[in-house]
Amino acid sequence: MDFNLEKSKNLYSHAIDILPGGVSSPVRAVKPQPFYTKYAKGSRIVDVDGNEYIDCCMAYGPLILGHAHPVVREAIERQLEKGWLYGTPVELEIEYGKLIKKLYPSIEMLRFVNSGSEATMSAIRLARGFTGKKKIVKVEGSFHGAHDAVLVKAGSGATTHGVPNSAGVPEEFVANTLQVPYNDAEALADLLEKNEDVACLILEPIMGNSSLILPEEDYLKEVRKITAENDVLLIFDEIITGFRVSIGGAQELYGIKPDITTLGKIAGGGLPCGIFGGRKEIMESISPVGPVYQAGTFSGNPLTLTAGYATVRFLMENEVYNYLKKLTEDIAERVRDAAKVDVGHIASMFCIYFGQKPRNYQDALKLDAEKFKAFFWELLKEGVFFPPSQYETCFLSYSHSESDAEKIAEAVIECLRKL
Ligand SMILES: *Cc1c(COP(=O)(O)O)cnc(C)c1O
């Protein structure tokens, strides 16, 4: 295959003078340069040099139906005719809200916001405001977006105070953020025994931002039990897993009822979106009803609601999940058998581990991220686009065909052989 990135190289050389690192979000700053997308359709993404890739990144999760899915596109087009931002309530807030309540029984009331970061930031403020407590607990290596309270260094130990992992975050801002390792219910129980003033535990029920790490048997049930016993609110960050591992998210899959849930990514059908919701009693602490302030110009805008609603309706009306599970399992099994590597997978998420399958963040740090980068480039040359880091997860969409899956598996096996 005639693979070159001349046009992308040229664009990137201009971008680095205008955008820090040449990008609008750091993971995209692939070295020596990222490819620039010209268009994308279905399972395919095409760059400005004319290279076509089978996309396994899918914009890091939102596009469960694939790129430019006609059902979502038509819904957006219909809304465009009527305007795309009003600054007033719209009927779809009620319709979509009702649908989410039905699919996520733990959510009795919710608020629409504009990104996952905004959802988790607001959910944490809400937990603190509702309980009147200061401290929060997060899981080491879990990602909840780019706001101050969750930008803490991992590995600082379960009982010590948080240390910022970003410049510009004063120590005081994370002094009340404690951390526990994933898949370790005992560490959580210990921490909560030693710390009284804890408002909430926030976690990704399935970790999707430190490679892919699955919960061990009963871990989430234990977490639910321990948080309830200690009067600590449980926040499930389902921004990746919501509508992904099942239509009702990880909470449906594992039968757990969190107090607060955050959604995003798929919930906006490919447009910027965040949602947080939970028990009515808790949600009524949000302004204008309660004392916890939260607001947004673009929140609940009709365009995002339309795209999200069309996506979720489609997911309800079609056999998406069984199909995707089978497709993902096929890739995982073939790669595992042929290349003798560990492959993690659940529903339509999968991850090739360069090293041993991790059970927490400290394990994930031992993976060979450098080797993954070489693999990423080999794979790109074969026409398959993986997210450019060992610490990201691959996603399949309803637009991926069985022949796409076959090509992905073959390319992965071939590239692993070459390395
Ligand atoms: C993507 C993600 C976020 C942040 O969402 P943005 O829309 O990028 O702000 C938060 N939590 C999890 C688990 C995510 O995967």
Which atom of ligand 1 lies closest to the CA of 272?
7
Residue 130 Cβ inside 6 Å of ligand 1? The answer reads no
Amino acid at 393: T
Q: How far from 286 is each of 41, 94, 110, 147, CA to CA, in Å?
A: 40, 17, 10, 19
- 387 Cα to the center of ligand 1, angstroms: 15
Distance 116 CA to ligand 1 centre (A): 4
Residue 158 pLDDT? 52
- The long-range contacts involving 215-222, CB below 8 angstroms and separated by at least 24 positions, are 215/182, 215/183, 215/254, 216/183, 216/359, 219/183, 219/185, 220/250, 220/254, 220/256, 221/254, 221/255, 221/256, 222/185, 222/188
Q: Which two tokens stand for residue 23?
A: 């990008």
Instruction: Residue 74: count other Cβ atoms within 10 Å of its Cβ.
Output: 12
Q: Verify whether ligand 1 is closer than 6 Å to residue 392 (CB atom).
A: no
Radius of gyration of the chain (CA): 21
Strand 343-346: give its sheet, edge to edge: 343-346, 349-352, 394-395
Does residue 135 have its Cβ closer than 6 Å to ligand 1? no
Closest C-alpha to 272, from 293, 300, 292 = 300
In this predicted structure, what is the pLDDT of residue 197?
97
CA-CA distance, 359 to 333, in Å (whole number)?
20
| Alpha carbons 185 and 178: distance in angstroms, whole number | 15
Compute the CA torsion angle 280, 311, 306, 243 (nearest 10 deg). Answer: 20
- Choose one of 24, 64, 122, 144 to mutate for the ligand 1 pocket test, by most ligand atoms within 8 angstroms of C-beta: 144
The contacts of residue 379 (CB under 8 Å, 6+ apart) are 385, 386, 411, 412, 415
Instruction: Could you list the beta-strand ranges (E) of 81-121.
Output: 109-113
For 6: left if phi > 0, alpha if psi spans -120 to 50, otherwise beta; the answer is alpha
Q: List, as one string, the DSSP characters of 154-172.
A: TTS-SSSPP-BSSTT--HH
Cα of 145 to ligand 1 centre, how many Å?
5
Evaluate: CB of 205 within 6 angstroms of ligand 1.
Answer: no
Tokens of 177: 């953020």
Tell me if residue 278 falls in helix, strand or coil: strand
**In whole angstroms, what is the distance from residue 302 CA to residue 270 CA?**
14
Query: pLDDT tens per residue, the chain (419 residues)?
Result: 579 999 999 999 999 999 999 999 999 999 999 999 999 999 999 999 999 999 999 999 999 999 999 999 999 999 999 999 999 999 999 999 999 999 999 999 999 999 999 999 999 999 999 999 999 999 999 999 999 999 998 765 555 578 899 999 999 999 999 999 999 999 999 999 999 999 999 999 999 999 999 999 999 999 999 999 999 999 999 999 999 999 999 999 999 999 999 999 999 999 999 999 999 999 999 999 999 999 999 999 999 999 999 999 999 999 999 999 999 999 999 999 999 999 999 999 999 999 999 999 999 999 999 999 999 999 999 999 999 999 999 999 999 999 999 999 999 999 999 99
Task: Supply the pLDDT for residue 160.
Answer: 58
pLDDT value for 154: 79
Q: What are the structure tokens assigned to 195, written together?
A: 């710390």
Q: Does the predicted TM-score (pTM) go above 0.95?
A: yes
Please report the domains of the chain, with CATH numbers, ordered by start residue. Answer: 6-68+319-418 (3.90.1150.10), 70-316 (3.40.640.10)
How many residues are present in the chain? 419
* Beta carbon of 354 within 6 Å of any ligand 1 atom: no
